[in-house]
Amino acid sequence: MASAFAPGKCILFGEHAVVFGYPAVAVAIEQGVHVTVENSSEWTLEGIPFDPSRHPHITHIIKELFEYEGPPLSLNVQSSLFSAAGMGSSAALSNAIGAALHSHLNPTEPIDRIKMAKMAHSAEATAQKGRASPTDTATSALGGCVVVSGGHVDGTRHVFDTSLLTPEGKRKWSINVVDLPASVSDAWLVIGYSGKGSPTGRMVAKVARLLSDRPERFEDMEAIANITTAGLTALSAGNLDALGMAMDACHESLQRLEVSNSALDRLVEAARPHSLGAKLTGAGGGGCMVALTKNPKRVSGAIEVAGGRPLYTKLGSGGVRVL
């Protein structure tokens, strides 16, 4: 049996803007997806017959990306992420399936994380109707802190480039990493699930429509890009206060892009008195918010009282791995 784990991710800055080539900063989190793969007499997922039409994402990875034509497989998936909630669960699933399948087929060959990231991005783009940045998939594959941008970003280490044909034209992204300073380990991210899924494809399409109807709203994208640069400088310097302030500012810009909602705003407000900063994370319209804090128990309690489901993690866990 082959087995692999891939982490979820939390976007600190730049969600939505990154789809249009602006920078984003994301960290891998401790929670993620665990997948096992083994030969079987029939195709199964979680012990029940596998229906490819119900799982196009998994089918795409196995059949089109791996071009797998071997014997039937039995797949088991365990996730500690809220699904469809902006935590990168589908990217983590793609990476974990890719790594487990790779290890099943080539047990002695180490996984190539860049190949995993590109493969998972292709699966993600298929699921998001051609509008998916490589943020979730690269962060889950590489781990740590990942900066995705249309061009080079000062103070980062370049890892690879990738591109995608989107309905708005061809986009190119540069994938970079940043080493987090030791002081960042004094802080936790508390992620609060609003209880409702976050329809990424729909939210990304909504922002594309808003920008096409009202091109002046690119101002909000520019504002997010400036906040992202300031936030990255704070993160690289281990300045947690400035990092939190940038997160607060990012939430306001996302509200102006109309991707927040009352449930997310309520959780953000509840977390702020005990946090350095808080914002929605991921696509919005539901899903999760995130708070940066030195007091994760207190913030988790506040989120629960406000009707959310919390979990907490340190920033920058390891990337996809064969177990």
Task: Name the residues annotated as catalytic.
Answer: 136
37 binds ligand MEV (CB under 6 A): no
Nearer to ligand MEV, 11 or 303 (CB): 11
Other beta carbons within 10 angstroms of residue 13's beta carbon come to: 29
Question: Which parts of 247-266 interact with ligand MEV (CB under 6 A)?
Answer: none
Residue 309's DSSP bridge partners are 193
CB-nearer residue toward ligand MEV: 73 or 192: 192
Structure token pair of residue 19: 């789809």
CA 278 to chain centroid, in Å, comes to 17
Q: Which of 15, 147, 228, 245 binds ligand MEV (CB under 6 A)?
A: 15
Chain residue at closest Cβ approach to ligand MEV: 133
* DSSP character at residue 143: B
Site for ligand MEV in 77-96 (CB under 6 A): 86
Closer residue to ligand MEV in complex, CB, 73/203: 203
d(CA 48, CA 40) in angstroms, rounded, equals 12
Output 38 or 265, the one with its CB closest to ligand MEV.
Answer: 265
For 39, counting Cβ atoms within 10 Å of its Cβ (0-12 exposed, 13-18 middle, 19+ buried), the class is exposed
- Shortest Å, Cβ 271 to ligand MEV: 20
Q: Does 118 bind ligand MEV (CB under 6 A)?
A: no
Residue with tokens 């990168």: 88
**Interaction pattern, residues 187-226, with ligand MEV; x per rule: CB under 6 A:** -------------x---x----------------------
User: Alpha helix locations (H) across the chain?
Assistant: 56-59, 89-105, 113-127, 135-142, 200-213, 218-237, 240-256, 262-271, 296-305
Nearer residue to ligand MEV within complex by CB, 140 or 293: 140
- Collect all residues with Cβ–Cβ distance below 8 Å to 127 and sequence separation of at least 6: 56, 57, 90, 201
Minimum distance from residue 159 beta carbon to ligand MEV (Å): 17
User: In this complex, which beta carbon is closest to ligand MEV, that of residue 204 or of residue 247?
Assistant: 204
Tell me, residue by residue from 121 to 160, as one string, x for binding to ligand MEV by CB under 6 A and - for no binding: -----------xx-xx------------------------
Q: Is the dihedral of CA 293, 297, 302, 307 positive or negative?
A: positive
Strands 2-13 and 24-39, by their bridges, are: antiparallel
Compute how many residues bind ligand MEV; rule: CB under 6 A: 14
Cα separation values, 63 from 34, 59, 236, 309, Å: 20, 6, 40, 36
What count of other Cβ atoms lies within 10 Å of the Cβ of residue 154? 9
283 binds ligand MEV (CB under 6 A): yes
State in angstroms the smallest separation of the CB of 49 from ligand MEV. 31
Binding site for ligand MEV (CB under 6 A): 11, 15-16, 18-19, 86, 132-133, 135-136, 200, 204, 282-283
